[in-house]
């Protein structure tokens, strides 16, 4: 199949979906209005609540929800072939992910910018709120751990990305200062920041930074050193005011991604490669190291189709910067479709970036082959770089550009997840009367320390490197992430039921996600408690940490569903607000 034809049909489908289904949801189901009666103005404080231009907030929201999720997930999932991943990304983004993101932002905006956990209290009852907060808490532990690991892997695999990523911090601080303190032209300074950023990428190809070159750290331990540095950094970054670093850095990252995606697509049209990967890879279904195709396709792809983390971004940071309710459609639904487009690009790069089928089969020989996550990401980096090379850009520079894009987005997710985890810990501490954890810095320390324990536990327990850690963490991340999305859709469903407006559009996706993620979580727990034997024939080690997290999330999910049914049955269809006029 032609890779160009796949791209054209997919992108056209997203454009049509936004104009038809997205606008239908906005007008007929949620009744969004042109109003500035929004939390950003109501509670403006110059720290978290900051009214923001639509274009800037779109960039911030897109980079926050994008992260490395729509890259890592599809890059792994194509091991089953490109067709299942493609169908799930397109259908999931339009009918599940877009609705989930849009509904989360609109409802949070109408409830004074409350987090999705607080929103669940008003819609489903106080007991549900506490359960929801704990589910979010456990999910964010995994998010912070897995994205710190991804960045560390990429730093080791692509040392040319290290310099530009760290130099981006002062560039972003400068950009924020010029826009907010000096009231400068945000378009002009954004272009300057982007040009400087790309210049540092070129410098990075000349000065690749490896820890082994400046220390006695062995190659296998570099990932753990980078994770330590990253967790210290994210502690500092997530406690700064949002417009000092997070927002301007996201703005740079958004434009960086637009340029990168544009270059990949243009290069794709110039090169016009064929998809060499099989539509369905039957060999992967017999791989004993791989999880079952169903339910795991739907959780492995993760953010490329739907993501519970998006609701945390929408109701945790984006809603505090939304300057008009009508902007929620392009910012939330539009960003989800653009994320779906990014996932399509990943599928194409991983399936058409190889010159022949044998090369693809060698790269995707098994689920855990070649030490897991690094090579799967490498398929996207190398495939995309090949497309960009068709534009006359040296392959070394093209590779660095793509590696920096992935790391930049993963860093945004890491920062935002830590910041949101702080909010969650603050809320839980207030309810549980743990006064020290209601403060910014103690809460952030806890937010960083627990994921650190998760990623360092294999090293502490056995004093050996777990080279397949990423492939262990990603399935439970995807499962917990999609499970949260299902529960958020439960909240949206009840919200729409109480308004008497189109609840069926949220009900069907909600039921699908609840069933598929419960199935996947039970499978995860079984795998952690019944590990495969080691290559030397000795019994595998039970993963107690992930077992506890998985069981906790599963119990909380069932409990929350029961409470939601009870709450709705008791309260009936009491209207939250009059249905909007069509």
Torsion of CA 405, 410, 416, 417, to 10 degrees: 170
Alpha helices in 240-353 (DSSP H): 246-271, 282-285, 293-300, 308-316, 328, 335-352
pLDDT band at 468 (very low <50, low <70, confident <90, very high): low
E strand or H helix at 76, and its extent?
helix 69-77
* Alpha carbon 150 to its chain's center: 12
Instruction: Using the predicted structure, report yes or no on whether residue 476 has a pLDDT greater than 70.
Output: yes
- Report whether 313 contacts 65 (CB < 8 A): yes
Average pLDDT (330-348) is: 95
Question: So what's the pLDDT on residue 310?
Answer: 93
- Superfamily grouping for domain 3-532+539-571: Amino acid/polyamine transporter I (1.20.1740.10)
C-alpha distances in Å from residue 2, one per residue of 277, 336, 491, 518: 11, 25, 41, 37
pLDDT band at 580 (very low <50, low <70, confident <90, very high): very low
Question: So what's the pLDDT on residue 318?
Answer: 92
DSSP string, 188-252: HHHHHHHHHHHHHHHHHHHS---HHHHS---GGGHHHHHHHHHHHHHHHHTTS-TTTTHHHHHHH
Instruction: Using the predicted structure, report yes or no on whether residue 579 has a pLDDT greater than 50.
Output: no
Instruction: Using the predicted structure, report yes or no on whether residue 6 has a pLDDT greater than 60.
Output: yes
Pairwise CA distance, residues 465 & 456, whole Å:
10
The pLDDT tens digits for 35-82 are 999 999 999 887 778 898 898 888 878 877 877 788 889 999 999 999
pLDDT band at 534 (very low <50, low <70, confident <90, very high): low
Instruction: Using the predicted structure, report yes or no on whether residue 186 has a pLDDT greater than 80.
Output: no
More confident of the two residues 217 and 382: 382
The alpha carbon dihedral of 149, 417, 412, 490 has a sign of positive
Alpha helices in 125-161 (DSSP H): 126-157
State which of 367-371, 376-380, 392-396, 561-565 shows the largest mean pLDDT: 392-396
What are the structural domain ranges in the chain?
A: 3-532+539-571
pLDDT band at 124 (very low <50, low <70, confident <90, very high): confident
Average pLDDT (197-219) is: 84
Assigned token pair, 273: 């490669």
């Amino acid at each position: 199949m032609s890779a160009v034809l796949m791209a054209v049909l997919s992108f056209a489908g997203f454009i049509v979906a936004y104009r038809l289904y997205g606008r239908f949801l906005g007008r007929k189901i949620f009744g969004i209005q042109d109003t500035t009666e929004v939390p950003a103005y109501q509670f403006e404080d110059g720290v978290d609540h900051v009214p923001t231009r639509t274009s800037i907030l779109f960039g911030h929201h897109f980079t926050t929800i994008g992260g490395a999720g729509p890259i890592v997930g599809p890059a792994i999932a194509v091991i089953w072939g490109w067709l299942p991943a493609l169908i799930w990304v397109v259908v999931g983004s339009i009918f599940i992910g877009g609705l989930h993101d849009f509904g989360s932002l609109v409802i949070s905006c109408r409830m004074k910018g409350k987090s999705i956990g607080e929103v669940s209290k008003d819609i489903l009852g106080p007991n549900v709120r506490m359960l929801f907060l704990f589910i979010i808490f456990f999910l964010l532990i995994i998010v912070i751990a897995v994205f710190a690991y991804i960045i560390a892997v990429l730093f080791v695999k692509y040392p040319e990305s290290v310099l530009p990523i760290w130099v981006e911090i002062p560039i972003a601080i400068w950009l924020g200062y010029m826009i907010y303190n000096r009231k400068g032209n945000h378009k002009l300074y954004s272009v300057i920041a982007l040009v400087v950023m790309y210049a540092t990428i070129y410098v990075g190809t000349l000065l690749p930074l490896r820890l082994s070159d400046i220390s006695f750290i062995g190659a296998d331990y570099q990932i753990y050193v980078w994770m330590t540095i990253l967790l210290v950094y994210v502690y500092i970054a997530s406690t700064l005011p949002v417009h000092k670093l997070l927002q301007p850095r996201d703005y740079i990252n958004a434009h960086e991604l637009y340029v990168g995606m544009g270059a990949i697509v243009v290069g794709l049209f110039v090169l016009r490669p064929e998809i060499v990967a099989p539509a369905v890879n039957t060999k992967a279904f017999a791989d004993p190291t791989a999880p079952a195709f169903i339910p795991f396709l739907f959780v492995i792809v993760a953010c490329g189709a739907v993501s519970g983390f998006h609701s945390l971004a929408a109701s945790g940071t984006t809603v505090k910067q939304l300057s008009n309710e009508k902007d929620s459609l392009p910012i939330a639904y539009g960003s989800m479709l653009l994320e779906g487009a990014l996932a399509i690009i990943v599928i194409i790069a991983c399936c058409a970036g190889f010159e022949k089928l044998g090369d693809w089969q060698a790269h995707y020989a098994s689920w855990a082959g070649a030490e897991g996550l690094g090579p799967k990401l490498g398929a996207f980096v190398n495939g995309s770089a090949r497309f960009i090379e068709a534009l006359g850009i040296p392959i070394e520079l093209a590779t660095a550009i793509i590696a920096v894009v992935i790391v930049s987005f993963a860093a945004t997710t890491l920062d935002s997840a830590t910041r949101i985890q702080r909010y969650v810990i603050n809320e839980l501490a207030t309810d549980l009367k743990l006064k020290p954890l209601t403060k910014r810095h103690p809460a952030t320390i806890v937010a960083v320390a627990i994921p650190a324990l998760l990623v360092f536990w294999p090293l502490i327990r056995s004093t050996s490197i777990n080279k397949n850690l990423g492939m262990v963490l990603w399935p439970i991340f995807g499962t917990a992430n999609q499970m949260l999305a299902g529960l958020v859709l439960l909240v949206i469903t009840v919200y729409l039921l109480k308004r008497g407006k189109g609840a069926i559009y949220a009900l069907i996706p909600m039921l699908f996600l609840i069933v598929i993620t419960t199935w996947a979580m039970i499978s995860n727990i079984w795998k952690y408690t019944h590990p495969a034997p080691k290559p030397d024939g000795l019994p595998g080690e039970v993963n107690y940490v992930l077992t506890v997290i998985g069981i906790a999330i599963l119990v909380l999910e069932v409990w929350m569903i029961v409470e939601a049914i009870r709450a709705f049955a008791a309260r009936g269809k009491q209207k939250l607000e009059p249905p909007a006029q069509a």
